[in-house]
Every structure is written in C-alpha cells, then in structure tokens.
Amino acid sequence: MVKLRAVHRFNLGKKPVQEHKNRCWVCSKKIGITGFECRCRYTFCAAHRYMEQHDCSYDIKSLHRKKLKKDLEEIRASKVIKL
C-alpha cells in the first residue's frame, strides 16, 4: 500500500484505480455515504473534497475555457437587414 501511495504522490506512473470507494483516497478515513466523488473518479472525505487539497489531476480550467469559447461563438448578432 505504501508503494502505491508513493506512485500516486510523485506521479511516477499510471494512476491506480481506487478499490475501496467507502474510504478516502488521501487519508483512508472511512466515509460511508457521506463521501464526495471528484471528477477525477476518486472518493474523498469532507476534509479532502476540494481539488486543491487532494492534488486533483482533472484539468477544470481547460474544460471551462472550452465551454466559454463555445458559448461566446453562439452569441453573435444577426445582420441587420436594410430597408
């Protein structure tokens, strides 16, 4: 278990799959039904639920940039028809 955590922390290889979804990925605290599932597909306790606290690998900024770019393209004014 220690080797897997070292690989996870230092990104030495492929990120392992979380086997026990009823425990926090960072601190292994038992969470039951109060766990929070992040977009990186790991489950965390209340203390580690935010992206900054568990070193999330999911790139939320690029997702928002793509969405904003798509939304801005759609808001184009139609041309005014001259009479």
What pTM did the predictor assign? 0.58
Sorted by sequence, the CB contacts under 8 Å of residue 74 that are 6+ apart come out as none
Residue ranges of domains in the chain, CATH in brackets:
2-58 (4.10.1110.10)
- The pLDDT, as a whole number, for residue 11 is 56
Does residue 6 have a pLDDT over 80? no
> Which tens digits make up the pLDDT trace of 17-51?
888 889 999 999 999 888 899 888 899 999 988 88
pLDDT band with cut points at 50, 70 and 90 for residue 5: low
43 neighbors 25 (Cβ within 8 angstroms):
yes
